Amino acid sequence: MLKIQNVSKVYRVGGQDFIALHNINLEIEDGAFMSFVGPSGSGKTTLLNLIGGLDSPTSGEVVFNGFHLNEMSRDQLAVLRRENIGFIFQSYNLLPVYSVYENILFPLLLNKQKESQVRDKVMALVEKVGLSAEANKKPAELSGGQCQRVAIARALVKDPLLVLADEPTANLDVENSHHILEMMRTLNQETQAAFIFSTHDEKVTRFVNREVALEDGYVKSDKVKQPNGELI
Amino acid sequence: MIRWILKGMLRDKSRSLFPFLVVAVGVALTVGLLGFMDGVFMGMIDMTAKLDTGHIRFVNKPFYEEEHLLPMDRALAGQKKTLAWLREHGDPRIQWSPRIRWGAIMDIPDEEGNTLSQTPVIGMAVQLLDPQSPERKRLQLEQSVIKGKIPSRSKQILVGYQLAETLKLTIGDTATLMGQTFDGGLATDNYTVSGFIRFGVAAMDKKMVLIDLGDAQQTFYMENMVTDWLGFLPRSVAYGDYEKIKQRIEQGLAALIKNPPEDWASDDEPIVLSILDQRNLGEIIKKFELIRGIIVMIFSFLMVLVLWNAGLINGIHRYGEMGLRLAMGETHKALMASLALEAFAVGLAGAMAGCLVGGTVVYFLQEVGVDMGDAMAQSGLMVNDVVRGRLSVEGFIRGIVPGMTASVAGSLIASLAIFQRSEANLFRELETG
Ligand SMILES: Nc1ncnc2c1ncn2[C@@H]1O[C@H](COP(=O)(O)OP(=O)(O)OP(=O)(O)O)[C@@H](O)[C@H]1O
Ligand SMILES: [Mg+2]
C-alpha cells in the first residue's frame, strides 16, 4: 500500500542544510498497525508529513496506493487525503462550534456526501467509540479521552486506507492512552484501515504489530511482532 | 456543506455578529445619508421646477435670451394651438402649464387714491381661478397662502408675505399694477389683495406676486399669449431622463418652426429646455453626484477596512480550524470559497438589516420631513424649508452593493494568508492546538 523509497528530507535553516531524514526505505502493507518511535527531533513527524502528502521529500519517492506523490499537484494531493487518509492529532483539533456528531460528519461533507444519506453511518460510529450520550455535545464539554475518540471516529468515517496519528496519546493519562490504543487496534481489525502513529511512549509497544524506531533521521530498527507477541 | 458552514457561522458570534453589525451600520448610514441627500436635492429640483422652470420648458428664444428683463413683448402667441402641438409631440407623461412671467410697479393707494407706497414686483401668472387647476396643487396654495384666500374671482392678487409686511398690506387692499403692454404702451390695472403667500424662498417672499393667467393676459394686452410653457413630469421619472425627453421634443420642433401657427411673430423661435439647462442645476447635479460618490466610497472603504481587520482576527481565531481543513483535504480554493460564502451571507444579512434601519429613517424623512425653519428659506436656495428624504431603489442599491462587496472583499483580503499557507507544517502547527 505504501512504499517509501530512498526518502531524504533536508531543511534549510539559517543558510545551513539540516538533514531530518536520511535515505529512508520502508514498505508498509495494507491494514498495518504500526508506530514510529524515537526521541524528540528524530524525524517522526517529518516522516508522517511525507506519507500524508503534506510535504514532499527532498529526494526519493513516496508511493501511496499506486500514486506517486511527487508527481501530484497540491490539489490532487488534497483530494487524495480527502478520500483516503484520516488524521489524528495530539491535541485533537476538533472544531469547537460543532457537536460531536457534526465533527464526525464533516469529512463526509467534504467528500460531497449528503447528510441525510450518511446520518446512520455517522451515528453507528459515534456508538462504536462509545459517545452515543455525547453526540450532541460540543468538544468543550468533553474530556480529553472523549475528544480523542471523536477524532478517531472522524478519521475513520470516510473508510480511509490509512490513518496517520501524530502522538495521539501524548495529551492523555495512562488509562486513557490504553483505552485509545485499544480502540484503535479494534477498529484497525474491523475496518482494515492501516494505522501509523508516532510516539515516544514506550508503553505503546505492546499494542502495535510493527515498530519502526527512528533516531536522528535514520531508521534504527524495524521490529515486526511474532506470533508469540514479541517484537523482533 | 453550505448548511454546515452557515450553522457554524451562526453559532460563532465572533464570525457573524460583529461583521453583521459593521455591515448593518455601514449600510444604514449610507442608505440614510444618501436618502436624505437625495431628498434634499430632489426637493430643490422640484421646488425650482414648480416655481420657476418646470422639468421641461418650452419658451420663445428671444424671451429666454433676455429673460432677466421680462420682455413680455417676446411672449409666444397661439396658446391653444401650441398646447395642442405640445400634447401631440411632447412626452405623454408631461403635464403642460402655461405661465406668464411679468414685471411691473405695484402701487398701493390710500383712500383718496394717492400713492401710499410703491415698489417694483416680479410677477407670475398661472391658471389660478379654476379650483380644479393643477397649478393650485402644484404650488401648494392651500398651505402656502398663510393669510387670506386663494383668488376665486378675477383681478385678485396674492402677495409674497414679506413683501406684504414691508408694504403694510391688509387683505382686501387695492393694489395697482403698472407695467408695459405687449406693444410697449402703459398698462395699469387694479387688483384686490386676496391673500399673502409664503413660498419658503426668501427672494420670492420678498418680491413676488401671483395673479391669474387670464387676468395677466387682459392687463398686459396679451390675448392668447404666454411667456412660458412649463412641462411637469411625475416623480417616477428620474432627472437623468429629462435630457432624452427634451431631445425627443426638439426633434419635432423643426417642422413646427417651418410651419408655425399663423399668429406667431415672424422671429418667434421656441426652444425646449430641461431644468438642468437652467439656474446652473446641471453643474450642481454634477457636484452633488460627485459628493454622493465620495460618500459611498468613504463608507465602503471604512467598511472594507474594519471587515478586513475583523477577518484577520477571525483568521487567527480560526487558525487551527483552517489548518485542520487543509490537512483533511479541503483545497485552498474551496476553503477561500467557503470563507467568501460566509462573508457573503453576513454581508447579505447585514445589508438587509442596514436597509431596514436606514430605509425606515429615510421613509420617516420622506413622509414627515424635518422642518428646518427659516434657516433654509434664508439660504436663498430654492429649497423648501421642510427637508424631506427620498426613498428609492437606487438608494438601496448604493448601500447594499458596497456593503456586500466590503464584506466579501474584507474577508478575502484577510484570508489571502490562507492561500499562501503551506501544508508542510500543518502537523506541527496543529500539535500545539
Ligand atoms: N520546517 C522545518 N524547518 C527546519 N527544521 C525542521 C522543520 N521541521 C522539522 N525540523 C527539524 O527536523 C527534525 C525532525 O523533526 P520532527 O518534527 O520530525 O521530529 P519528531 O520526531 O516529530 O519530534 P517530536 O517528538 O518532538 O515531535 C528536528 O530536528 C526539527 O528541528
Ligand atoms: Mg513530532
> What is the ipTM metric for this complex?
0.93
The CA-CA-CA angle for residues B413, B417, B423, to 5°, reads 150
Question: B153: how many CB neighbours lie within 10 A of its CB?
Answer: 10
- For residue A9 and ligand 1, the question of a CB distance below 6 A is answered with no
* Tens-place pLDDT, residues B53-91: 899 999 988 889 888 888 888 888 888 888 888 888 888
Residues in chain B closer than 8 A to A85 (CB atoms): 329
Give, using CA atoms, the residue closest to atom 24 of ligand 1. Answer: A40
Of A107, A115, A118, A55, nearest in space to A79 by CA? A107
Quote the pLDDT of residue A226.
77
> DSSP labels for B196-264?
EE--S-HHHHHHEEEEEHHHHHHHTT-TT-BSEEEEE--TTS-GGGHHHHHHHHHHHHHHHHHS--TTS
- List the grid coordinates of B360: 425606515
Taking ligand 2, which is a single-atom ion, which protein residues have CB atoms under 5 Å away?
A 45
DSSP string, B100-116: EEEEEEEEEE-TTS-EE
Q: Which of A55, A93, A166 sits opposite B423 (nearest CB)?
A: A55
CATH number of A2-224: 3.40.50.300
Cell readout for B411 is: 474577508
Q: For ligand 1, say whether the CB of A197 is within 6 Å of any of its atoms.
A: no
The answer, yes or no, to whether any atom of ligand 1 lies below 6 A from the CB of A137, is: no
- What percentage of chain A reaches a pLDDT higher than 90? 88
Tell me which of B1, B328, B330 to substitute to probe the interface with A (most A C-beta atoms closer than 10 Å).
B328
- Partner-chain residue, chosen from B328, B424, B432, that has the shortest CB–CB distance to A81: B328
pLDDT tens profile A114-140: 999 999 999 999 999 999 999 999 999
Q: Measured in angstroms, how far is the CA atom of residue A166 from the centroid of ligand 2?
A: 7
Q: Is A136 on the interface with B (CB under 8 A)?
A: no
* H/E stretch holding A75: helix A74-84
Query: In A, residues 154-213, which contact B (CB 8 Å cutoff)?
Result: 166-167
Ligand 1 centre and the CA of A47: distance in Å?
Answer: 10
Pick from A81, A97, A166 the residue to mutate for testing the B interface (most B CBs within 10 Å): A97
Phi-psi group of B76: left, alpha or beta (phi > 0 → left; psi -120 to 50 → alpha; rest → beta): beta
Residue extents of the structural domains in chain A: 2-224
Q: What number does the ligand 1 atom closest to the CA of A49 have?
A: 18
Q: How far is A167 from chain B (nearest CA, A)?
A: 9
Question: Which ligand 1 atom minimizes the distance to the CA of A214?
Answer: 21
Model pLDDT, residue B292: 87
Pick from A97, A105, A110: CB nearest B8: A97
The tens digit of pLDDT for each residue in A47-78 reads 999 999 999 999 999 999 999 999 999 999 99
Q: Which residues of B120-147 are buried (b: 16+ CB within 10 A; e: fewer)?
A: ebbbbbbbbbeeebebbebbebeebbeb
The span from the CA of A130 to the CA of A148, in Å, is 12
Average pLDDT for chain A: 93
Reported as a pLDDT band with limits 50, 70 and 90, residue A152 is very high
Query: Which pLDDT belongs to residue B231?
Result: 93
CA distance B34 to B398: 8
Please give the residue that has the higher pLDDT: either B407 or B371: B407
pLDDT at B381 over 60: no
Ligand 1, atom 31: nearest CA belongs to which residue? A41
Calculate mean pLDDT across residues B357-368. 89
Beta bridge partners of B104: B121
CA of A154 to the centre of ligand 1 (A): 26
Question: Do B427 and A45 count as a contact with CB atoms less than 8 A apart?
Answer: yes
Range 7-46 of A in CB contact (< 8 A) with B: 45
**Above 90 in pLDDT, residue B409?**
no
User: A54 and B423: CB-CB below 8 Å?
Assistant: yes
Please list every residue in chain A whose beta carbon sits closer than 8 Å to the beta carbon of residue B428.
Answer: 45
